[in-house]
Each structure stands twice: as structure tokens, then as C-alpha cells.
């Protein structure tokens, strides 16, 4: 691998002079999803090094025997990288500090990296995604561009008015993307933050909106594999009725599917296609988890917990903005 100073050791995944790897963000609370994600990545044949960025709170403790997977501390990054993320957190108090940890990836050891949230299951060998970066600096596979900007902007129409027609079409889901690091990108992210501060009523104040504004302002050369001519399948789990629908999409419709993202809530395993979140568990443990999740849903406890979580997030955002 390549350390923060740029020296090289045996074991680095690279093509030519470009090093490649995967970044996740996790802590102990997201341990189950994170370990399942790592399991799915490896089971799909991807051998790239995996580095876990610090979300905050109690650190993740890795299971034994995971090959080329390492939990990083913020102190392992350069002073510049730590200062960059600290600046984002200072100026974006409405956004969870843990979400902004993903931007440490721009100061990590890989020239080309894939970033992924934990509520994701890999559905293919992610090494096959990296060749698309040869021509592009940002690659994603999601249908965020179809949402009309409602998850990124408080005023989507105003955003297009200021940025130009079609700006919302460049939206990506920040929970899963590939990036070839370029020196202008971190400057563009800070410029995007300045733009958001100049138009505070337009964006939603979170990391995904920041990434969109930076890509539009900086004119990042981007590829969405879900758009023509590639036409990959939607990566949002909510677009599938059940596992049969997932298999039918891949097999019968012949649409590639890079991953399933369980965003938009707190998946318990009881919902459609959510059983894949237990893929790494032995049968008996998986059944216990599934039984517990179904019991919570049938009694209404799951709905109550989700409502409490949503309300707490609202309160946390209000407190952070003061």
C-alpha cells in the first residue's frame, strides 16, 4: 500500500502508477452493516484494499481474519486533510460530522478510490468499475438524477436558474461513487461551500449537496452508468419489490447492478430485499436476526424507533445550526 507520505510497500493494488482502493466510514454502531458490506465486496471477487475512515464515537473493531482491511484514525491523515474536514464541519454544523469524514478520502493513500456507505451490499466485483475512471474523474451508478433535486436542494428550480439548465441532472448519491483524485477537486469543494454560504436558502446543508455543487461549479468530467448508453439498473434497494425482482433485473433484463443501497431510512432486515444485509451471517444467526426484525415490525416497535430517530435528527440539526 501507499502510506500518507507516498512511500510504497508490497500489497498495494495499482495499475501503472495509480493506486486503487476502497474507503468506508464506520464506528461501532454501524459494525454489523460494515462487516456485511466487506463480506459482499470480497465474495464478489474484489481484492482491493479497504480502509475504514473514522465516523466518530466508539471506533469500529474489525473481525479477525479480514484481508487487507484496516481502520484508520484521523491522526493518520495529513495536517492538511484534517484541517480540511475540520473546516467543513465548522462551516456545515447542520450536517452530521461523521458524514463529512468521507472527504478524508481525498487525502488518503489511493489515487483512484471508491467510497461506499455501510448500508450497501456489493452486487459485482467493484474492481470492474475502475476502468471507467480512465476517461472520467467521477463515476457513479444511481438514479439520483431522476429525483428533480428534492434530496439535495430546498429550492431546486432556483439552483438550476443560478447554475444553468441541466445542473440537477448531474446529481449523484454521495453514498457510493468512484473518484480519480485531481488537485482542483478539494478547491472546488471549498468553492462549493462558499457558494452554499452565499445562497443558504437554496441547498440542503449536507455532504451530498456539497458534492453536487462542487461537481457543477468545477465542471467535473463525470459518468453515471445508469444513464445511456450504459443503462445500468437502479442501485436503490427501494426500487425493487423483492429478491426475485433483483434477479429478474440482472438476468432477464440484462441490466448490470453494481450494488444495492438501503438509503432513506434505517434498514432492519425485515423489508423487501433487506435480508441481504444478513448475508455474512451463519444460517442460525441470520434467522435469529430476521425473526427479531420481523417481530419489531409486527409489534410496531420498528416504526416507533424510526420515528424517534427522525425526530432526533431534526433536533440535532437545529442544535448544530445555532
Instruction: State residue 297's pLDDT score.
Output: 79
Q: Domains for the chain: give ranges and CATH numbers.
A: 14-231 (3.90.550.10), 237-317 (no CATH)
Average pLDDT over residues 67-91: 97
DSSP H or E run through 247: helix 243-251
205 Cβ contact partners less than 8 Å away, ≥ 6 residues apart: 92, 94, 95, 196, 321
What does the alpha-carbon distance between residue 256 and residue 250 come to, in Å, rounded to a whole number? 6
Report the first-to-last Cα separation within the chain, whole angstroms. Answer: 42
pTM for the model stands at 0.88
Q: Where are the beta strands (DSSP E) in the chain?
A: 14-15, 18-26, 50-54, 69-71, 112-116, 120-122, 138-140, 176-180, 222-224, 259-261
Burial level of 23, CB count in 10 A (0-12/13-18/19+)? buried
Q: Please write the tens of the pLDDT for every residue from 212-252.
A: 999 999 999 999 999 999 999 999 999 999 999 999 999 99
- Closest to 231 in 3D by CA, of 146, 120, 133: 146
With a cut of 50, say whether residue 312 has pLDDT above it: no
Q: pLDDT higher for 218 or 303?
A: 218
Average pLDDT over residues 57-74: 96
Instruction: State residue 295's pLDDT score.
Output: 87
**Residue owning grid cell 462549493:** 192
Alpha carbon 182 to chain centroid, angstroms: 19
Kindly indicate the confidence band of residue 303, based on its pLDDT and cuts at 50, 70 and 90: low
Amino acid at each position: 500500500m501507499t502510506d500518507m507520505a507516498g512511500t510504497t510497500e508490497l500489497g498495494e493494488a495499482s495499475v501503472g502508477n495509480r493506486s486503487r482502493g476502497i474507503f468506508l466510514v464506520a464506528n461501532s454502531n454501524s459494525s454489523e452493516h460494515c462487516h456485511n458490506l466487506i463480506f459482499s465486496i470480497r465474495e464478489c471477487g474484489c481484492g482491493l484494499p479497504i480502509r475504514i475512515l473514522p465516523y466518530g464515537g466508539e471506533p469500529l473493531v474489525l473481525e479477525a481474519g479480514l484481508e487487507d482491511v484496516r481502520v484508520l484514525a484521523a491522526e493518520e491523515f495529513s495536517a492538511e486533510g484534517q484541517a480540511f474536514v475540520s473546516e467543513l464541519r465548522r462551516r456545515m454544523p447542520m450536517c452530521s460530522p461523521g458524514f463529512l469524514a468521507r472527504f478524508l478520502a481525498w487525502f488518503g493513500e489511493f489515487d483512484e478510490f471508491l467510497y461506499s456507505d455501510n448500508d450497501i451490499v456489493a452486487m459485482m466485483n467493484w474492481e470492474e468499475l475502475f476502468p471507467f475512471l480512465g476517461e472520467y474523474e467521477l463515476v457513479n451508478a444511481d438514479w439520483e438524477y431522476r429525483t428533480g433535486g428534492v434530496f439535495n436542494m430546498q429550492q431546486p428550480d432556483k439552483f438550476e436558474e443560478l447554475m444553468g439548465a441541466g445542473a440537477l441532472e448531474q446529481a449523484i448519491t454521495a453514498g457510493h461513487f468512484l473518484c480519480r483524485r485531481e488537485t482542483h477537486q478539494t478547491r472546488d469543494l471549498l468553492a462549493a461551500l462558499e457558494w452554499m454560504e452565499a445562497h443558504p436558502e437554496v441547498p440542503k446543508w449536507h455532504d451530498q449537496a456539497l458534492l453536487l455543487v462542487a461537481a457543477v461549479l468545477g465542471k467535473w468530467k463525470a459518468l453515471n452508468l445508469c444513464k445511456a448508453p450504459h443503462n445500468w439498473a437502479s442501485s436503490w434497494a427501494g426500487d425493487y419489490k423483492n429478491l426475485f425482482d433483483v434477479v429478474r433485473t440482472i438476468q432477464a433484463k440484462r441490466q448490470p447492478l453494481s450494488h444495492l443501497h438501503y438509503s432513506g431510512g434505517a434498514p432492519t432486515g425485515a423489508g423487501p430485499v433487506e435480508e441481504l444485509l444478513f448475508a455474512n451471517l451463519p444460517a442460525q444467526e441470520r434467522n435469529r436476526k430476521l425473526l427479531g426484525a420481523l417481530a419489531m415490525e409486527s409489534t410496531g416497535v420498528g416504526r416507533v424507533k424510526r420515528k424517534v430517530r427522525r425526530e432526533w435528527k431534526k433536533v440535532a440539526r437545529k442544535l448544530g445550526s445555532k
